[in-house]
């Protein structure tokens, strides 16, 4: 959890309007909500009927980071610490990876790609069972993890610019910029498509994100050298405390120099989420979602969900029961 303690401390100094990281609550909700409209007719009626759930629960995975010890590692993947198979080699499946690295390595450097694959299997099983509770929960959570995988800084140990004297860039890229400029983004993606190889597609997404890390950091570093230091940040009073954030002028210049990168990754995340949902449904045999209504969990089910993060067997990818 040390990594997310550092992010939390940085967030106290440089806060987004939503006061959050990981695309920001605003962006995660926007991504999940928009992904629903990529789905085909047999799915979209059910998902639109539960649009508020898919939208509001898009941030549950972030909330769990401060409750479940193993949750944080599901949100990132430090590519530099996973050997020669990344970015060009063939990544091992989870069982093979467990033979190569101790559980502490995964906790420190993340399991995001493997967890996306696992969540897709869970969603497929939920469709097979026509279990509305878990279809919606796993859809919302899978959307969150896929969105995180589209963020370059979720794929590097220099996740917040702390190794390059750019502390705060994490929330700047994925929260501040979308919250300032997303209303001008073109979020049209086309329709969800079937993914023939889930592991291959998952690793492609992570690799594409990692290829952008250098640009994310370099462009901000160059801009910071050129921009007047006294105009880089803005300070204001919020909820009776002083909040420091990147100024709108500085943010606009960074957005321009990125040449649409944030918009592209956000839009690509939307299409990926719809496509993973669609693929899980197809792999389950395309069960009818008609007359499938969301129901509230019973107290016993809710307790089990909270203890196991939705896995009734209580299995943890990090070698512990959750």
Once rounded to an integer, what is the mean pLDDT over residues 298-306?
68
Identify which has the larger pLDDT, 311 or 203: 203
- The per-residue pLDDT for 293 is 65
Angle formed at CA 68 by CA 124 and CA 265, multiple of 5 degrees: 55
Identify which has the larger pLDDT, 56 or 14: 56
Residue keyed to tokens 């990132």: 76
pLDDT greater than 70 at residue 314? no
- The per-residue pLDDT for 28 is 95
What's the pLDDT tens digit per position in 254-289?
999 999 999 999 999 999 999 999 999 999 999 999
Question: In whole angstroms, what is the distance from residue 127 CA to residue 124 CA?
Answer: 5
Mean pLDDT of the chain: 87
- pLDDT confidence band for 5 (50 / 70 / 90): very low
Cut 0.85: pTM above it? yes
- The per-residue pLDDT for 299 is 78
Which of 34-48, 144-158, 214-228, 298-312 is the least confident region?
A: 298-312
- The per-residue pLDDT for 85 is 64
- The per-residue pLDDT for 47 is 97
- The per-residue pLDDT for 172 is 96
- pLDDT confidence band for 66 (50 / 70 / 90): confident
- pLDDT confidence band for 298 (50 / 70 / 90): confident
The alpha carbons of the chain give a radius of gyration, in whole angstroms, of 19
N-term to C-term CA, the chain:
15
The neighbour count for residue 183, using CB atoms within 10 Å, is: 7
Which residues lie across from 242 on neighbouring strands? Answer: 237
Which residues lie across from 235 on neighbouring strands? Answer: 244
- pLDDT confidence band for 322 (50 / 70 / 90): very low
Identify which has the larger pLDDT, 6 or 160: 160
Question: In whole angstroms, what is the distance from residue 248 CA to residue 164 CA?
Answer: 23
What's the pLDDT tens digit per position in 38-59?
999 999 999 999 999 999 999 9
Give the H/E segment covering residue 56: helix 51-56
Question: In whole angstroms, what is the distance from residue 66 CA to residue 64 CA?
Answer: 5
- The per-residue pLDDT for 292 is 83
What's the pLDDT tens digit per position in 73-117?
999 999 999 986 676 767 889 999 999 899 999 999 999 999 999
What's the pLDDT tens digit per position in 147-187?
999 999 999 999 999 999 999 999 999 999 999 999 999 99
pLDDT greater than 80 at residue 197? yes
Residue keyed to tokens 């949750």: 71
Question: In whole angstroms, what is the distance from residue 255 CA to residue 243 CA?
Answer: 21
Helix extents (H) in 163-295 = 169-171, 177-181, 198-210, 213-226, 248-257, 261-283
Whole-number percent of the chain with pLDDT over 90: 73
- The per-residue pLDDT for 222 is 98
Q: What is the DSSP string of 270-309?
A: HHHHHHHHHHHHHHTT----TT----PPPHHHHHHHHHHT
Burial, 35: exposed, middle or buried (Cβ in 10 Å; 0-12, 13-18, 19+)? buried
């Amino acid at each position: 959890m040390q990594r997310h303690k550092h992010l939390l401390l940085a967030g106290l100094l440089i806060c987004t309007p939503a006061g959050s990281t990981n695309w920001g609550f605003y962006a995660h909700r926007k991504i999940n909500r928009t992904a629903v409209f990529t789905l085909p007719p047999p799915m979209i009626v059910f998902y639109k009927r539960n649009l508020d759930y898919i939208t509001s629960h898009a941030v549950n995975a972030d909330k769990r980071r401060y409750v479940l010890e193993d949750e944080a590692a599901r949100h990132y993947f430090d590519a530099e610490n996973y050997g020669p198979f990344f970015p060009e080699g063939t990544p091992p499946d989870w069982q093979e990876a467990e033979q190569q690295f101790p559980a502490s390595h995964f906790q420190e450097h993340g399991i995001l790609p493997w967890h996306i694959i696992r969540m897709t299997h869970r969603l497929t099983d939920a469709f097979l069972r026509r279990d509305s509770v878990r279809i919606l929960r796993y859809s919302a959570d899978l959307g969150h993890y896929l969105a995180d995988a589209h963020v370059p800084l979720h794929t590097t140990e220099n996740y917040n610019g702390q190794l390059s004297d750019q502390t705060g860039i994490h929330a700047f890229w994925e929260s501040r910029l979308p919250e300032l400029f997303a209303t001008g983004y073109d979020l049209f993606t086309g329709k969800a498509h079937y993914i023939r190889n889930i592991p291959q597609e998952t690793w492609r997404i992570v690799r594409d994100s990692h290829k952008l890390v250098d640009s994310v950091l370099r462009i901000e570093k160059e801009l910071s050298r050129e921009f007047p230091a006294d105009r880089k940040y803005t300070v204001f009073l919020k909820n009776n405390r002083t909040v420091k954030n990147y100024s709108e002028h500085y943010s606009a210049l960074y957005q321009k120099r990125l040449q649409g990168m944030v918009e592209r990754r956000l839009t690509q995340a939307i299409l990926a989420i719809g496509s993973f949902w669609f693929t899980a449904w197809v792999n389950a045999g395309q069960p009818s979602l008609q007359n499938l209504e969301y129901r509230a969990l019973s107290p016993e089910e809710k307790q089990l969900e909270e203890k196991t993060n939705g896995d009734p067997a209580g299995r943890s990818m990090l070698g512990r029961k959750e």
